[in-house]
Amino acid sequence: MKDRVDYLIDLLLDLDAEIEEQDDAAIDLGYYNDDRALATLEAAAKNPQTNDWCVLQTCGESAARIWVMRDFFNKAAFDSFQTSAKMGALFYIKGFKPEWIEQYNIQIDSDPD
């Protein structure tokens, strides 16, 4: 039986869904300390098929929200994100774990998506 996380994952990954729906799903997934939610957000943040900058930014921010909940920064995932997703993650990290910026040498490429 599907639960709320499964439905949100399906919506985020549905390329036929409205951008606003995908973005809302990405926002909601960030509030679940759930391995499926985190894996989906990280995958969407680096996937070239996730081509809307707003959805990418939200995926990055929501992944960072879960990292902060877990007090664990996934540098490998962050480094693989598209630029807009990195910007979203960095925005959240600056607000809630600013020490990670120096600790993990967090940087964003100058190339836009």
Task: Tell me the pLDDT tens digit for each residue of 38-88.
Answer: 999 999 999 999 889 999 999 999 999 999 999 999 999 999 999 999 999
Q: Is residue 111 part of a domain?
A: no
Q: Is residue 55 part of a domain?
A: yes
Q: Is residue 110 part of a domain?
A: no
- Full residue range of the structural domain in which residue 19 is found: 4-103
Buried b (16+ CB within 10 A) or exposed e, 54-65: ebbbbbbbbbbb
Q: Is residue 74 part of a domain?
A: yes
This prediction's pTM: 0.94
Cβ atoms of 104 and 73 closer than 8 Å: yes
Which residue do the tokens 């990195």 mark? 86
Q: Is residue 113 part of a domain?
A: no
Single-letter amino acid, residue 8: L
User: How many structural domains comprise the chain?
Assistant: 1
Q: Is the pLDDT of residue 19 over 70?
A: yes
Q: Is residue 108 part of a domain?
A: no
The token pair that represents 75 in the structure block: 């540098």
Q: Is the pLDDT of residue 111 over 60?
A: no
Q: Is residue 54 part of a domain?
A: yes
